Structure 1
Amino acid sequence: MKRVVVGLSGGVDSSVAAYLLQQQGYEVIGLFMKNWHDDSVTISNECPWLEDSNDALLVAEKLGIPFQTVDLSEQYKERIVDYMFAEYEKGRTPNPDVLCNREIKFDVFMKIALSLGADYVATGHYCRKGEIEVDGKPVYQLLSGIDKNKDQSYFLCQLSQEQLSKALFPIGGLTKPEVRAIAAEMDLVTAEKKDSQGLCFIGKVRLPEFLQQKLRPKDGLIVEVDANQPVYTNDQPAEGSIQEQLAVQAAPIRYSESMGKVVGKHQGAHYFTNGQRKGLNVGGTPEALFVIATDVETNTIYTGQGHHHPGLFRKALYIDGPEVHWVRQDLTLASGQTMRVKARIRYRQELQDATLHQFENGLYVAFDEPQSAITEGQFCAWYVGDELVGSGVISE
């Protein structure tokens, strides 16, 4: 009987994952991760960890499986929270959920599980794992979940072959309504529980207040750039090598205050991200203002009216060499090679047709259609069919 440690989060998905594994004949142990928690920035009563750990305990009791809580707050602060502060300070927008899976659930947590004699670690993610043979060796696949509304493969885009080899995703072949139905049938306390929306295992956090712990508020200007600004009509001729053309397409526009008009003030450029609409507090424009760029050096936010504003769109993005990660290492591109893929630059985005171009220093992702709000620090993930094969942190 193989032993599996399930990360019981106190939600319905991990509860049903534990039940299904039990049904499949595994010896199941439930562990609840207590990660960094700070009440001063948590929205009151939204997913407090105490309630979650209690629900996880009740599920474990109902299923008759051993249960314990592990405190990973120190590692979480070091690997996730400090990283987030550092990224925001640079004017980038990190994705803590992707990092949490790579650094906490499938690293720190996985090592604890293996020390308990576990063969596998299971989570309630909506994705699937496949296994094929390449050159006589097993290769593990990260496949999207059957429920297209809930597919969470994107959040696991940084996993390695070693991590995948020890991972199980029991609910990846089910839809959310099916998962809830199983929980209700089993009379699990989590059956009707709402999905948590917050940072991975922290709960719902007010991001500006969270960031203000380290990044002091600082008054700056909000500049509106007109859609007819000449900078948008400077179409560079398609000259030079393909690498030079891609570099031009991927390069963000460098704005200056003279390109627009001052329409308001803000509390700090590092609290804002590309494509953001809320929190600007500037009224009186025919269409809503969207953030098209932030400059943490000058502490300026550049905005444009409407979600079709040309400042929001780019045709390509660049990933620096060390940041390129292949889940399927056997598919790694050599310099000069290309690959047709489907890619997404944020969770829930529809997959977009794109071509990968690998060069000596890094990788360009060239999209068939211009993409809105490509954001430094976020992850771009690419797929072949329903398999996520690689990802990387967007450098520009």
Structure 2
Amino acid sequence: MKRVIVGLSGGVDSSVAAYLLKEQGYEVIGLFMKNWHDDSVTISKECPWLEDSNDAMLVADKLGIPFQVVDLSEEYKERIVDYMFNEYEQGRTPNPDVLCNREIKFDVFMKIALDLGADYVATGHYCRKDILEKDGELIYRLLSGLDDNKDQSYFLCQLSQEQLAKSLFPIGELKKDEVRKIAADQELITADKKDSQGLCFIGKVRLPEFLQQKLSPKEGIIVQIPDADHFYVKSIPVFKNKEDELSYLSTKHKYNLEDGKVVGKHQGAHYFTKGQRKGLAVGGTVEPLFVIDTDVEKNIIYTGEGKNHRGLYRNVLFVKNDDIHWVREDLKITEGESLKVLARIRYRQKLQKAELFRAEKGLYVVFENPQSAITEGQFVAWYLEDELVGSGVIN
């Protein structure tokens, strides 16, 4: 009987994952990851991790499986929270969920599970895994979840073959309503529990308030940039080669204070991210203002009116060599090669047609259609049909 340790989060998805594995004959153990207890940062007046760990314990009790809480708060602070603050300070927008999976759930947590004699670690992610044999070797494939509306493969875009080999995703073939029905039929306390909207395994934390407690407010100005041809319609230079052309096309617009008009004030450019609409508190425009760029050094936020403002769009992005990750190492392309893929730059975005070009200093992702709010620090993930084959940090 194979032993599986399930990351029980106190939510319905991981609860049903544990139930299904037990039904399949695995020896199942539930572990709850406690990732936060820094009293210097107030997350909310409630104590969500306590409530969640209690729900996880009740689910384990109902299923008749052993249960334990593991404290990973030190590793979480070092690898996720400190990294997040550092990125925001530099005007980049990290994705804590992708990092949490790579650094905590499928690294620190997985090592603890394997030390406890587990054959596998299981989570309640909506994605699938299968295995193929190629040149006498087993290769693990990371596939989209069957529920298009809930597919979470993007969050696992940084996993390696070694991590996938030891992972199970029991609910990947199911839709959310089917998962809730199973939980209700088994009378699990999490059956009707709302999905967590907070940071990975921390709970009900609202990011702006969280950032404000660690990054000091600093008053600056909001500048509105017109959607004018002289900014966005330029004569294209003659390029020596494909790489020069892609480098030019992937470079974002540079704005200066004199390019627009001052329309308001803010409390810190590092609290804002490209494409953001909420929190600007500027009225008097026909359409809402969107952040089109931030300058954390000069503490200026540049905005454009309406979601179709040209400052939001471009169709080429760049990933540095150090930030390229292939889930399928056997499919990676080398300098001068290209590969047609489907790609997304954020969770829940529909997959977009794109082509990868491998250059000397990194990898260009060229989208067929311009993409809104390509954001430095976020992850781009690329797929072949429904298989996620690689990803990278947008530079």
TM-score by length of 1: 0.98
Residue ranges of structure 2 left out of the alignment (5+ in a row): none
Residue 139 of structure 1: how far off its partner (Å): 0.4
Please give the per-residue CA displacement for 1:29-84, whole angstroms capped at 9, x wherever unaligned. Answer: 00000002457542444x70011000000000000000000000000000000000
Letter in 2 for 1:34: K
Two-structure CA RMSD over aligned residues (Å): 1.1
Is the CA contact 2:276–2:291 (under 8 Å) kept in the aligned structure 1? yes
* Whole-angstrom distance in 1 between the partners of 2:373 and 2:37: 30
Equivalent position of 2:189 in the other structure: 189
Residue in 1 aligned with 2:393?
A: 393
Structure 2 partner of 1:383: 383
Work out the CA distance in 1 between the residues paired with 2:37 and 2:170. Answer: 28
- State the SS of the aligned residue for 1:230: helix
Percent identical pairs in the alignment equals: 70
- Aligned match of 2:258: 258
Whole-Å separation in 2 of the counterparts to 1:209 and 1:277:
17
1:131-142 equivalent positions in 2, closer than 5 A: 131-142=131-142
The TM-score, its normalising length taken from structure 2, stands at: 0.98
2:244 matched residue in structure 1: 244
Preserved CA contact (<8 Å) 2:42 2:210? yes
SS at 1:341 equivalent? strand
The question of whether the paired residues in 2 share the 8 Å contact of 1:345 and 1:379 is answered with: yes
Q: Render the CA deviation track for 1:265-295: whole Å, top value 9, x for unaligned.
A: 1011110000000000101111100000001
Partner Cα separation in structure 2 for residue 54 and residue 41 of structure 1: 20
Structure 2 residue 125 is the aligned partner of structure 1 residue 112: no
Q: 1:374: Cα distance to partner?
A: 0.1
Q: 1:56 to 1:257 in 2, by over 3 A?
A: same
| Structure 1: 5+ residue stretches without partners | none
* Contact 2:198/2:206 (8 A) holds in 1: no
* CA–CA distance in structure 2, aligned partners of residues 149 and 90 of structure 1: 33
CA distance in 2, matches of 1:265, 1:143: 45
1:200 corresponds to 2:217: no
What SS class does the counterpart of residue 354 from structure 2 fall into? Answer: strand
One-letter identity of the residue aligned with 1:301 = I
The aligned counterpart of 1:36 is 36
- How far did 1:7 drift? 0.2
Q: Counterpart in 2 of 1:369?
A: 369
SS at match of 1:215: coil
After the TM superposition, list the runs of 4 or more consecutive aligned residues in structure 1 that deviate by more than 2 angstroms.
37-45, 237-240
**C-alpha contact (below 8 Å) 1:88/1:270 kept by paired residues:** yes
- Secondary structure of the residue aligned to 2:265 is strand
Q: 1:117 and 1:25 mapped to 2: Cα distance?
A: 17
Q: Distance in 1 between matches of 2:364 and 2:351?
A: 17
Q: Per-residue displacement from partner, 1:301-325 (whole Å, max 9, x unpaired)?
A: 0000000000000010000001000
Instruction: Name 1:10's counterpart in structure 2.
Output: 10
Aligned to 1:326: 326
SS at match of 1:203: coil
Q: Give the aligned length.
A: 394
Q: Do residues 269 (structure 1) and 269 (structure 2) align?
A: yes
Q: Secondary structure at the match of 2:258?
A: helix
Separation in 2, partners of 1:333, 1:247: 18
